Chain A
Amino acid sequence: EVQLVESGGGLVQPGGSLRLSCAASGLTFSTYWIHWVRQTPGKGLVWVSRINNDESSRSYADSVKGRFTITRDNAKNTVYLQLNSLRAEDTGVYYCARAGYSSAWSYFEYWGQGTLVTVSS
């Protein structure tokens, strides 16, 4: 059974930093691309970032580009999201999701339960 477990969320002041982790089990981790998606309070899901299987390709939403960095450690079956220069609008539940492949790596096949990030003074 595929399991994704996020951790590292918490309360941080504006301008601060956090590192989120996504630990995976039940899959050949080094094969799969991984995404981060967030849900802000009262709003919907927003795609944040993704990394390919060997870390050779990464992409970011414009709203986080230059502030967030996605990395992975295939030996530890873990993906990380470094959040810097945090703003109030970054507050939300952050989910990691394993990508699915059919004709392309184009959907989110398995999701974790999420970790809450609160940016407030």
Chain B
Amino acid sequence: QSALTQPASVSGSPGQSITISCTGSSSDVGSYNLLSWYQHHPGKAPKLMIYEGSKRPSGVSNRFSGSKSGNTASLTISGLQAEDEADYYCCSYAGSSTFIFGGGTKLTVL
């Protein structure tokens, strides 16, 4: 099964908003509202940012939001800050107790 499709990189200036897309298929993203997003600073443990498409864990800034339409999910970060610079991954339940990640998106804050 191929990875979910994410843009390799996105960039934005401090204060701006950016959106990262995550495209799957009717077998994963389109079938389940079980899509999560992770922030990963190299050398550190990944951090959960969004779960079940649009829910934010306690402690995650409300600048992070998630949505889904059909087979594509999106992560939006508003009011970009320097510390948001990291790799971001989406992950979907794919049925039969398996999961599939996206290829990852490198966010650069200019």
Q: How far is the CB of A117 from chain B (nearest CB, A)?
A: 16
Contacts of A111 in B (CB 8 A): 45-47
Given contacts A62-B1, A95-B46, contact A100 B51 (CB under 8 A): yes
Given contacts A47-B91, A50-B97, A59-B98, contact A107 B45 (CB under 8 A): no
Contacts of A114 in B (CB 8 A): 45
Report which B residues bind A (CB closer than 8 A): 1, 3, 32-34, 36, 38, 40, 44-48, 51-52, 55, 57, 87, 89, 91, 93, 96-104
Report which A residues bind B (CB closer than 8 A): 35, 37, 43-47, 50, 57, 59-62, 95, 97, 100, 102-104, 106-114
- Say which residue of B3, B44, B55, B93 sits within 8 Å of A102 (CB atoms): B55
Contacts of A95 in B (CB 8 A): 45-46
Taking a contact as CB atoms under 8 Å apart, the answer to whether B48 and A47 are in contact is no
**In the docked arrangement, what's the CA distance between A43 and B89, Å?**
11
Taking a contact as CB atoms under 8 Å apart, the answer to whether B45 and A45 are in contact is no
Q: How far is the CB of B38 from chain A (nearest CB, A)?
A: 7
**In the docked arrangement, what's the CA distance between A114 and B41, Å?**
13
Contacts of A47 in B (CB 8 A): 91, 98-101
